[in-house]
Amino acid sequence: MSEAKPTILKLGGSVITDKDGELAAKTEVINRIAEEIKRADMDNLVIVHGGGSFGHPTAQKYGIKDGLKEPSQKVGFSETHHVMTVLNGLIMDALVWHEIPSLSITPSTCIMTENGRIKYFDDTVLCSCMKMGFVPVLYGDAVLDEKLGFTVLSGDQLVAHLALKLKAQKIVVGVDTDGLYEADPKVNASAKPYLRLNLEQLKRVQAKISGAQTTDVTGGMAGKIAELIPAVEAGISVQIINATRNLRVLRGLTGERIEGTIIEKA
């Protein structure tokens, strides 16, 4: 059993799935990342993954995020959760084959939200499995909501919540760009990533991004930053890395210097 403060690793949906496809997992990337996680040999690691082309299209098709409005959506809720378990199964497959003692923890059966924000979280199993040295694996999921009936809980909200709850040392956010950019790198090829940001600078970037009419990519980034701000305020460092590139996850976890954006309170 280790006393090391936990590290939370988020694997974005755009890293582990092809967002343009339908239920399209990037199994080679998933396997490579599992190998890097094994090599990093971390004490107290928690993994959270996103939904990509599994959770998002299904949640959108049935309007799950906005809550229960008509009975026909119920099966859509089931389907959204179900496809997330399918993607989670592929991640677990890779982790177990790389001999990482890991346990899938299903957000929809231990978490409830109120108007989309986490209200109840029974962390009994999560904490016990960490004490035993297992790596808990959670994911963005369709969850029950006290006011809305149900909704979508993003992996990013979950990451920040877990980091605060578990008093994490750091959060490593794996995305498919080389960090947090001044402008959307997929639109503006000369855009550069920020190397280091403090809390005040992060808040300025957040205000700039959310004020602009943005594409999905930066829009997603603005939401990500908004979720991460409370964790940074609590002194937890955040590193945004390109998890689609070789060795970045390994080096991000072990604290080696790599390309990406480091966010720290001061």
Q: Using CB under 6 A as the criterion, which residues of the chain lie in contact with ligand IPE when the complex forms?
A: 12-13, 50-52, 55-56, 59, 80, 84, 140-142, 152, 154-156
For ligand IPE, the closer of residues 116 and 140 by Cβ is 140
User: Which is nearer to ligand IPE, 217 or 255 (by Cβ)?
Assistant: 217
Smallest distance, ligand IPE to C-beta of residue 46, A = 14
Rounded to the nearest 5 degrees, what angle is found at the Cα of 244, between the Cα atoms of 238 and 245? Answer: 90
Choice between 119 and 265, CB closer to ligand IPE: 119
Q: How far is the CB of 193 from ligand IPE (least distance, A)?
A: 19
Q: How far is the CB of 26 from ligand IPE (least distance, A)?
A: 12
Distances (CA, A) of 175 to 3, 8, 123, 237: 28, 14, 27, 16
Distance in Å, CB of 155 to ligand IPE, minimum = 3
Q: Which two tokens stand for residue 5?
A: 């403060």
Name which of 10, 13, 30 is nearest 21 in CA terms. 13
Identify which of 139, 134, 173 has the alpha carbon closest to the alpha carbon of residue 154: 139
Nearer to ligand IPE, 74 or 204 (CB): 74
Kindly tell me which of 84 and 180 has the beta carbon lying closer to ligand IPE: 84
**C-beta separation of 239 from 170 below 8 A:** yes
**Cβ of residue 161: shortest distance to ligand IPE, in angstroms?**
12
Element of type H or E holding 40: helix 27-40
Residue 38 has which token pair?
């094994």
Q: CB burial class (10 A; 0-12, 13-18, 19+) of residue 83? A: buried
